[in-house]
């Protein structure tokens, strides 16, 4: 599982959903949480934090956002060599197979369907961690 000092970026166009996810992560013991309301802002944060002592180590992103979607954001992240292995979990209200398959093809680390609870988030974060850091799982 991710260490409690993991720097997490939460991306969602809904302030209420961002707060809900942040509150859930804080209840789980995480404290380094950044937020963005859309993909362009989120990518800028990933880039700017990459040169600091605390780079983003996990992205939790909504799939359906105005402007670049979460899937387009995932593709943008994966297109940069430095971020190819950054754990990236998509969160959505959709349970459509097409979106899940396309996300999987583009290297998503996990997928959460809203509404979700702490147990689901914990499970998906564990799975993403094991996928990216198999020797530390």
Question: How do the domains of the chain map onto residue ranges?
Answer: 8-136
Mean pLDDT of 3-16: 96
Does residue 91 contact residue 124 with C-beta atoms inside 8 Å?
no
- Average pLDDT for residues 113-137, to the nearest whole number? 90
Mean pLDDT of 8-35: 96
Alpha helices in the chain (DSSP H): 15-27, 39-49, 70-78, 97-105, 118-132
Q: Output the pLDDT for position 115.
A: 86
- pLDDT band at residue 94 under the 50/70/90 scheme: low
Averaged over 48-71, what is the pLDDT?
95
Q: Which letter, b or e, does each residue of 77-92 get, where b requires 16 or more Cβ atoms within 10 Å of its Cβ?
A: bbeeeebeebbbbbbb
- For the chain, what percent of residues have pLDDT higher than 70? 97
Distance of alpha carbon 109 from alpha carbon 29, whole angstroms: 21
pLDDT above 70: residue 137: no
- Which of these CATH numbers, 3.40.250.10, 3.30.700.30, 3.30.390.50, 3.40.50.2300, describes 8-136? 3.40.50.2300
Check: CB of residue 23 under 8 Å from CB of residue 15.
no
Confidence band for 100, pLDDT divided at 50, 70 and 90 = confident
Distances (CA, A) of 14 to 11, 19, 62, 137: 9, 9, 9, 32
Is the pLDDT at 136 greater than 90, yes or no?
A: no
8 Å CB contact between 46 and 52: no
Give the number of other Cβ atoms within 10 Å of residue 93's Cβ: 11
């Amino acid at each position: 599982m991710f260490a409690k000092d993991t720097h997490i970026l939460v991306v969602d166009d809904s302030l209420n959903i961002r707060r809900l996810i942040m509150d859930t992560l804080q209840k789980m013991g995480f404290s380094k949480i950044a937020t963005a309301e859309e993909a362009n802002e989120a990518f800028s944060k990933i880039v700017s934090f990459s040169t600091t002592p605390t780079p983003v180590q996990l992205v939790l992103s909504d799939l359906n956002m105005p402007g670049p979607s979460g899937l387009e954001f995932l593709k943008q992240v994966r297109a940069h060599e430095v971020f190819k292995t950054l754990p990236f979990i998509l969160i959505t209200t959709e349970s459509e197979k097409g979106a899940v398959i396309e996300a999987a093809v583009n290297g998503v680390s996990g997928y959460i369907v809203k509404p979700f609870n702490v147990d689901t988030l914990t499970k998906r974060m564990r799975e993403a961690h094991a996928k990216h850091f198999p020797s530390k799982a």
